Every structure is written in structure tokens, then in C-alpha cells.
Structure 1
Amino acid sequence: MLRSMYAGISGMKGFQAKLDVIGNNIANVNTAGFKKGRVTFQDMMSQMTSGAQGPTATRGGINAAQIGLGSQLGSIDNIHTQGFRQTTNNPLDLALEGDGMFALQANGETLYTRAGNFYLDDGGNIVNADGYYLVGAGGNFPLTIPDTAQSFSIQTNGTVTYIDAAGDTQTEGQIGIANFSNPAGLQKSGSNLFLNSENAGFTGLAVPEADGAASIISGSLEMSNVDLAEEFTEMITAQRGFQANTRIITTSDEILQELVNLKR
């Protein structure tokens, strides 16, 4: 009975972690570039009560008898599927259609994001909401639109062009796309940013629409890939699983109480 109580506690802890991840997903349902999380479980070690025995000339084999000791967190995954695209008609709102991430640079640190809501600072540099410079395909930054420019545009291949004061078309540069063989290995850093890790498999900055990199859609934003219907279904499952594990603890406690009452 003590084993069942501890198994119930482990189940409660696991489902609490699942609810935490679901709550974070729902809270970020309208966050641009957000990638949802997913929790998986594993069983804990099992206690062997009798080992397996092979067949003999006079008797068949016997399977091992084991009692499980509960569950544990297996993984908390980041799911990097394509998010929904929202049209904004703002030329500095950029959505990625395909694989890859925008690269950002600030204070000697490179970060990555799928959130394409960019702005111009007082120097005409293309930055994100935190002032991080958008990095070009050759690793150059910042990408700058002069104050004298009459208008500017960003092509699907990441080329940034503008019309200068004389009415001529000028090319500022090309936006780079960071490619990863395992984007789920990136570490979330907050503020819609990701950090590279040893398991992300960074393969370098690529030109958009080349080497499997995404194309850039100007005037749109990639929104969260959270599906509310799926999250609410998982929330109900986690809630019922948590309740079932509390019943295991309650039932075990009642049996222990009966054992105590045997003395009367």
C-alpha cells in the first residue's frame, strides 16, 4: 500500500507538470512566433518479485513478476510546426513560410526567433521589439533603411530594397535565415527568443528560398501554433489523471486505517 501511495504521488507530480505546460501554451495562444510545448511520461523502475525462468525438459518457462513504482517525466518537447499566418499589411512584419529562423544580434550574442514583428530605430536599423539587430545572410548587421528613403520593400528571398531621394532603387542587403537540423533542441530564452544548444544542429545562415530555407512573406506575421481545442482536450485528460491519482492515495489511506483498526 505504501508503494501505491508513492506511485500516486508520482502521477500527481507528472500531471501537474503537464498542466503547467498546457497553461503556458494557452497563455501564449496569441504570441507571435510561439512554439507550443508537449509533455511525455515514462514509467519508473519496477520492483522484481520473481525473476523469469526459461523452459526445461519437464516444465515451460515463467515470466518475470514486477510491480511498477510510478511514473516520471519523459520529456518536455518544443513542437516547431508552422503557425497560423496573420495579414497585417505592415512591410516590417515578416512571416517565415517553411523551415528556419530569423537571426538577431545584440551585445555580442546571437539569438533566434520566428516572431517577425520588426521595427526601425532612430538610425533606420531594422530591429526587433527589444532592439536586437536583424542579421543579414552573410552575417552582416545591421540592415539599415536611410531616413531619406521614400519607400522600401522586402522580397520573398529576403532582399531589402528602398527608393532613395533621387527616385532610384537601392539594395541594402539580404535577410539571413538560420537553419537547424533539430529545431526542437533550441532553448527558449523568453521574449520570443531561442538560444542555440549543442543538440540543435545549427547549420549556418542561409539565403531565403535556398538550401531548404524558408521564404519571407512581408506584411504578415506567423502566430502561435497552439490549437485551443487540442489544449483543452489535453487539459481535461490531465485533470482526470490527477484526480485518479488522488483516489489511489485516498484508497491506500483507507486501507491503512483499516489495518490500524484491527487492534480494536
Structure 2
Amino acid sequence: MMKALYSGVSGLRSHQTKMDVIGNNIANVNTYGYKTQRATFRDIYYQTISNPSQASDGIGGTNSSQVGYGAKIGSVDTIHTLSGYSPTNKETDVYINGDGYLKVVDASGNYFYTRYGALNFDSSGQLVDSNGSIVMGLNGEEIAADNVDIDEASLTAIKIDIDKFSNITINSDGTITGVGLDSTDAATYNKVTTLGLIAISTVPNQAALKLEGSSYYSAGNNTGTITYHAAGLGGSGEIVTGGLEMSNVDLANEFSDMIITQRGYQANSKIITVVDEMLEQLVNMKR
């Protein structure tokens, strides 16, 4: 009888965690770049009452008898499916049309990966995201965007001399171009010049990325070797400017999961109530 009580408690805890995951998904239904999560259950432990026996002459075989002790959370997985493009009409907003992440570095020197492409050039010409972290890539005028691989050691914080160039544009391959304003520089004056390149990070096992909040992920032990490319190469998606990636939360799925989870919680709470009534009856047998 007490086993059923513990099973009910474990079921309540598991369903509470699943509801937490569902609630977080719904809260982030309009969060740009958010990837939905799911919680799965698994059984815990079984007490063996009798072991199976093998059939012999004149005696049939028997099966094992086991009693379980409830359920627990098996995993909380992030679903990294590509979501839709949401136009913002801001030229420095970027949407990665396929697999890939931006690599950024914060003020403390921590490196993160993100698909939230709300970017800006700050007053010093650094390409930063909405948290103030600097986007990583290549700087300089001589950049071959058709090179598939970019050495990680060569990545730098992207910085543009915004006072010397106008019409600064982020292109579909991640290159950053501008028109030279310095009349003393014949090589760039009044010419479209490549100023830098945004590196797109390709993660072999996206499910192993660790959620850090603020639309950031960090690399884990099971992500595999992360490689860097120009957008559209090396398995990464091209960049589309003027928009951001929508959340991939499916509200219909979340609400149906919410109902199922609520009923599961209700059923497990009923187990506890019934066991409590049975224990009360047992205690009251002798008066």
C-alpha cells in the first residue's frame, strides 16, 4: 500500500516539472530565437516479488512478478527546429535561414552561441547584440567569403570604422560592406569595400548545447567539434537581414500537453487520497 503512496508522490513531482516546462514554453511563445522544450518520463525502480523460472519436464515456466515505484523525469530536451522569419525592417537584424549560430563574447570574456540576431553597431563600431555582447567573425578588407572553413583561432570581435564608411550593409553570406568616405584613401573612396565577415557556427549536436538564458547557449561536452563558416557554407544557413527568427513554440501542442499533464497530476493526487483512505480504514479496524 505504501508503494502506491510513493508512486503517487513521484507522479506529482514529475508532472509538476513537466508543467514547469510547458509554462516556460508558453511564456516564450513570442521570444525571438526561442527553442521549445519537452519533458519526458521514465519509470524508476521495480521490486521483484518472484523471479521467472524455466520450464522443465512436467512443469511449466513462470514469469517474473515485479511491483514498480512510480515515475521520474527522464529528460528535458530542447527542440532545435527552424522557425519562421519575422520582418522587423531593421537592416542590422539578421535571421539565419538554416542551421547555425552567431558566436558572441560578453564583457567578462565568456563565449556564447545564439540565434537571436538583433544586432547593432555601437559608437565605437563594434557589432553587438541586444545584450551588448560583441559578435565574432573576421575583420579587414581582404576576406574570402567563399572559404568553407574559418579557423576558430582567427575569430575576432567584429569592429568597423563607422566614421570612414557609409551604407554599411550585412549581406547574405555574412560579409559586411560599406562605401568609403575618406577621399585620401584611393583604394576605398566611393567604392563598396568588404569590411568584415560574421562567422556562422555549426554545432554537430545542437541538443547538447546548454541553455544560459538571455537567448544564449554554451558549448557542452557532447556538442562535438564546432566549426565556423561564411553564411550558407559548411552546412550553415544564409543570412536574411531585416528580420528575426520567431519562437518555434506550437501553442496548440502546448495546450494539449497542458491538459494531459493536468489530468495526470489529478490522477496521481487521487492515488494519494485513496491510499490515505485505505490507511485510515486500516487504523480504524480495531476500536
Query: For this structure pair, what is the TM-score category when the shorter chain's length is used for normalisation?
Result: over 0.9
Partner of 1:255: 278
Query: Alignment partner of 2:76: what SS?
Result: strand
Q: Deviations over 1:186-232 (max 9, x none)?
A: 11111111111111113221221111111111111001111111111
Question: Amino acid of the residue matched to residue 10 of structure 1?
Answer: S
Write out the 4+ residue segments of structure 1 that deviate beyond 3 Å after TM superposition. none
CA contact (8 A) 1:134 1:143 kept: no
Do 1:178 and 1:202's aligned partners in 2 also have CA atoms closer than 8 Å? no
Mapping 1:132-147, distance limit 5 Å: 132-136=133-137, 138-144=154-160, 146-147=162-163
- Give the AA of the match of 2:35: K
User: Cα deviation per residue 1:89-134 (whole Å; 9 max; x = unaligned)?
Assistant: 2111100111111000233321100100011111121101121111
Specify the SS of the correspondent of 1:150: strand
Unpaired stretches in structure 1, ≥5 consecutive residues: none
Residues in 1 aligned to 2:72 and 2:260: alpha-carbon distance in whole angstroms: 17
- Quick check: 2:158–2:198 contact (8 Å CA) kept in 1? no
> What's the counterpart of residue 110 of structure 1?
111
Secondary structure of the structure 1 residue equivalent to 2:15:
helix
Q: Report the Cα offset of residue 145 of structure 1.
A: 5.2
CA distance in 2 between counterparts of 1:202 and 1:160 reads 26
Deviations along 1:45-85, one digit per CA (max 9) or x if unpaired, are: 10101001111121221110000100011001111111221
Which sections of structure 2, spanning at least 5 residues, go unmatched? 138-149, 182-188
Please tell me whether residue 159 in structure 1 is matched to residue 175 in structure 2: yes
Counterpart position of 2:216:
193
Contact 1:135 1:143 in 2 (8 A): no
Matches within 5 A, 1:57-96: 57-96=57-96
Matched, 1:203 2:204: no
* Distance (whole Å) between structure 2 residues aligned to residue 96 and residue 35 of structure 1: 14
2:40–2:74: 8 Å Cα contact kept in structure 1?
yes
Aligned-residue RMSD, C-alpha:
1.2
Q: Match for residue 172 of structure 1?
A: 195
Higher alpha-carbon deviation: 154-163 or 198-207: 198-207
Percent identity, aligned pairs only? 39
SS of residue in 2 equivalent to 1:202? coil
Per-residue deviation, 1:140: 2.1
